[in-house]
Amino acid sequence: MTSDTTQPNDRNNATGKLPPGMVLGPDGKPCKICTAFRNWKPAEGQQAQNRKQAQDAKAAAVMAAAASGTSSQARPDVRPENCPPDVEVLGRSTWVFLHTTAAYYPDKPSPTQRANMLNLLHALPVLYPCSHCASHLGEEMQVYPPDVSGRIPLSRWLCERHNEVNERLGKEKFDCAKTDERWKDGPSDGSCD
Ligand SMILES: Cc1cc2nc3c(=O)[nH]c(=O)nc-3n(C[C@H](O)[C@H](O)[C@H](O)COP(=O)(O)OP(=O)(O)OC[C@H]3O[C@@H](n4cnc5c(N)ncnc54)[C@H](O)[C@@H]3O)c2cc1C
């Protein structure tokens, strides 16, 4: 277990210079992929530039619509789906991939399958784009090395690592007895069949 349970948000807030929830990257600058979209507040200069770009794009869209005789689209209230991911979208997608891959991992994996699974998991602390997420995971993996001996132990190991993140973020822990139901079989009432 990591000794540093401080959230990067707390660390950043301690400086009193960043908006709540904004996270710094290893280069000391605000880290977009480490920050939830709702907490991402570009600096004033950047905001002005973004506003100008948005206004220019809107004006161009109005002119194009007028020229083609169609009405212009209003700017959506919610973030369009084709925007780059924030820390939450990236996290959710990664968990879906990891839990599902574990759920379909063989009960008796071959040496090659074990080695590839280990490579996949060990790559995360090195390559995962959210740097503080990656380093927390790396610390966790040193204390709790991945168990790739079979589907069930791997799913449990992953569930426990996910629960560590849930706990750190103040979320409820997931019942690890339910990983197959959530990621493979679906509920017994058949609502997902
Ligand atoms: C390796 C990794 C490290 C991360 N570290 C951070 C971090 O340090 N700081 C940060 O802000 N965000 C981090 N994230 C993102 C964070 O975990 C969430 O993905 C994000 O906050 C969105 O949460 P969510 O509530 O949508 O559900 P998620 O936590 O993304 O979960 C998706 C779904 O998985 C299921 N689930 C939940 N817990 C478990 C479990 N234990 N086992 C099996 N299934 C489960 C639930 O059905 C849930 O709806 C990390 C993500 C990853 C992949």
CATH fold of the domain at 87-184:
Four Helix Bundle (Hemerythrin (Met), subunit A) (1.20.120)
pLDDT of residue 4: 37
- Could you report the per-residue pLDDT of 53-104, keeping only the tens digit for each? 766 766 666 566 566 655 445 545 567 889 999 999 999 999 999 999 999 9
Ligand 1 in contact with 169 (CB < 6 A)?
A: yes
Distance (angstroms) between ligand 1 centre and the Cα of 140 equals 15
pLDDT of residue 40: 85
Decide: helix, strand or coil at residue 30.
strand
Distance (angstroms) between ligand 1 centre and the Cα of 112 equals 28
Comparing 49-58, 135-144, 145-154, which segment has the lowest mean pLDDT? 49-58
List where CATH 1.20.120.310 sits in the chain.
87-184
Residue 143 banded pLDDT, cuts 50, 70, 90: very high
CB 14 within 8 A of CB 22: no
What are the backbone angles phi and psi of residue 19, rounded to the nearest 5°? -65, 150
The answer to whether residue 27 scores a pLDDT higher than 70 is yes
pLDDT of residue 12: 43
Closest Cα to residue 165, out of 90, 100, 79, 105? 90
CB 99 within 8 A of CB 115: no
User: What's the rounded Cα separation, in Å, for the pair 102 and 29?
Assistant: 35
How much is the mean pLDDT over the chain?
84
> What is the rounded average pLDDT of the residues 160-188?
97
Atom in ligand 1 nearest the alpha carbon of residue 179: 43
| Residue nearest (by alpha carbon) to ligand 1 atom 28 | 92
One-letter identity of residue 56: D
Ligand 1 in contact with 99 (CB < 6 A)?
A: yes
| Residue whose pair of structure tokens reads 């905001």 in the numeric block | 47
Distance (angstroms) between ligand 1 centre and the Cα of 164 equals 9
Ligand 1 in contact with 91 (CB < 6 A)?
A: yes
pLDDT of residue 41: 78
Relative orientation angle of helices 87-103 and 151-168, to the nearest 10 degrees = 160
User: What's the rounded Cα separation, in Å, for the pair 103 and 182?
Assistant: 9
* H-helix segments, 16-143: 44-68, 87-103, 111-127, 131-143
User: Please, which residues have CB within 8 angstroms of residue 22's CB and are 6 or more apart in sequence?
Assistant: 9, 12, 30, 35, 39, 40, 41
| Residue nearest (by alpha carbon) to ligand 1 atom 45 | 174
In the chain, pLDDT over 90 holds for what percent of residues?
A: 62
CB 21 within 8 A of CB 39: yes
pLDDT of residue 161: 98
User: Please, which residues have CB within 8 angstroms of residue 107's CB and are 6 or more apart in sequence?
Assistant: 150, 151, 152
Residue 44 banded pLDDT, cuts 50, 70, 90: low
- Could you report the per-residue pLDDT of 7-26, keeping only the tens digit for each? 444 444 444 577 888 999 98
| Residue nearest (by alpha carbon) to ligand 1 atom 16 | 91
Atom in ligand 1 nearest the alpha carbon of residue 23: 11
More confidently predicted of 74 and 162 = 162
CB 163 within 8 A of CB 178: no
Q: What is the DSSP letter of 182?
A: I
Ligand 1 in contact with 165 (CB < 6 A)?
A: yes
The answer to whether residue 138 scores a pLDDT higher than 70 is yes
The answer to whether residue 109 scores a pLDDT higher than 50 is yes
Ligand 1 in contact with 157 (CB < 6 A)?
A: no
pLDDT of residue 131: 96
Could you give the C-alpha distances from 16 to 12, 19, 38, 120, in angstroms and in order?
A: 7, 8, 19, 38
| Residue nearest (by alpha carbon) to ligand 1 atom 6 | 133
